[in-house]
Amino acid sequence: MTLEESYKIIEALIFAAPYPLTIKEISDIIAIDEKIVARLIEDIADKYSGCGFMLRKVAGGYQFVTRPELSEWVEKLGRKIIHTPLSAPALETLAIIAYQQPVTRAEIEKIRGVRADSAINTLLERELIAEVGRKDGPGRPILFGTTEKFLLEFNLKSLDDLPRRSEFPRLVNEDE
């Protein structure tokens, strides 16, 4: 297979995939070294840099997406882009899970100071979090962590892209 053929195949795979494809997945499918796949992906991203859609790296993989500044035009096709925001308690719970994962419901509730059942259920329904295991100890409580969909929704390549806690303004006293 030539590089030109590989290039076209990679474009087709990324276009057709319902989720972001990783370099490793592409490499495994087309049996080409990951370094070559990475270089071809860079070329593909450059090719579409001035188009109405772009190649985006997210959640450790790559996908084609419409440019955000063109969303109002896409919506006119009848493909309404839904931006239903999460409630403040759900966002707070999601932040706790993102930074503390894996974390139990009891640990979340201890941090928040209130019950978290509703927020956790909302986040599970939206597939932003998932059960990632069970903690050793009495009752073996469920551990929660974020999902790939969380990374996609928040346009993160990985959890390393989250702001560092040290960057947050201090909201409470250390003694509290």
Q: What is the pLDDT of residue 173?
A: 46
Q: What is the pLDDT of residue 141?
A: 94
Shared-domain flag, residues 43 and 19: yes
Mean pLDDT of the chain: 86
d(CA 93, CA 123): 9
Q: What is the pLDDT of residues 89-119, one digit of tens each?
A: 899 999 999 999 999 999 999 999 999 988 8
Q: What is the pLDDT of residues 13-51, one digit of tens each?
A: 999 887 788 999 999 999 999 999 999 999 999 998 889
For residue 93, the enclosing domain spans 88-167
Adjacent-strand bridge partners of 133: 143
In a domain, 35, yes or no: yes
What is the number of domains present in the chain? 2
Q: What is the pLDDT of residues 38-85, one digit of tens each?
A: 999 999 999 988 898 889 887 778 988 888 788 778 878 875 555 567
Residue count of the chain: 176
Of the candidates 15, 47, 75, which is a domain's last residue?
Answer: 75
Q: Are 138 and 156 in contact (CB under 8 A)?
A: no
pTM of the model: 0.55
CATH code (residue 137):
1.10.10.10
Which residues, 6 or more positions from 66, have their beta carbon under 8 angstroms from its beta carbon?
52, 53, 74
- The pair of structure tokens assigned to 96 is 């706790």
Of 137 and 93, the structure prediction assigns the larger pLDDT to 93
d(CA 60, CA 21): 8
